[in-house]
Chains A and B, each alone.
Chain A
């Protein structure tokens, strides 16, 4: 399963309302709850926060990739969010993060989990694509950027 298969309008939120790191994570997990992708918000949040405690997933170029293995999901699950004003996510370059990919995966799907995260790593190397996604005005626009068929 590729990253493009995970990005759909029901899991993309633009703009994010949250203005702090914990609030962004909560808002994205709520997106998954509202889309029917998870049933246990608290366990999902716990898994994400446990991973964040080891080291922030805020990267450079304004991207953050909070992720965790958890049995609250049966399949690879992604929520995407865009914050035009940026949020302090303790990123590597100290700059606010604007583009968020929150990924949850069941423990027995390591291969597809790693492949999807590797797709995000590739995406993070493309300044043009990151800027286009961060400037998107709607979930439809984000999905169109991914599909680019």
Chain B
């Protein structure tokens, strides 16, 4: 039987949970002999919302956009380094826009059969104001999704590769 996992996408957002997800995705890719890709979305949608809400000034929007671009480079570099240390090839990608839309689009356009994301908030507020973009992407993507938990165990798995 062919492996059910051929092409994996891991979503990176700079949180520790997303780095753990990257480690898990690398473990999975190695075991399943699958391609692994990482994506970071520069959340320009949130920046626009903050400017409209007047929480941000224009100069802040520009400054934080630069910060997000720098964070994207930093965290994708880190993921590339994690892959390099274990001899695993990885493609990384930075996009801009809305987190939810970019993840859904990347999965569809890239033909991924698995999305790997970091642990979501344990608090599941019913308030619409606090819906989580990553969770929304999880519910909307056309492929299967793994939510990675247990950071310590994942670290041990990664270290043992």
- Point out residues on A near B: beta carbons under 8 Å: 1-5, 54-55, 57, 59, 65, 67, 69, 92, 107-115, 117-126, 129, 146-149
Are the C-beta atoms of A110 and B67 separated by less than 8 Å?
yes
A122-B129 Cα distance, complex, nearest whole Å: 6
Given contacts A59-B55, A110-B67, contact A1 B50 (CB under 8 A): no
| Residue of A with least CB distance to B124 | A149
A124-B50 Cα distance, complex, nearest whole Å: 11
Are the C-beta atoms of A149 and B43 separated by less than 8 Å?
no
Residue total for B at the interface (Cβ-Cβ under 8 A): 33
A118-B43 Cα distance, complex, nearest whole Å: 10
> Min CB distance, A68 to chain B, in Å?
10
Q: Majority SS of interface residues in chain A? A: helix
Given contacts A111-B13, A111-B14, contact A1 B59 (CB under 8 A): no
Chain A residues within an 8 Å CB radius of B59: 54
Q: Verify if B3 is at the interface (C-beta below 8 Å from A).
A: no
Chain B residues within an 8 Å CB radius of A147: 123, 125
Q: Verify if B68 is at the interface (C-beta below 8 Å from A).
A: yes
Are the C-beta atoms of A4 and B125 separated by less than 8 Å?
yes
| Residue of B with least CB distance to A124 | B53
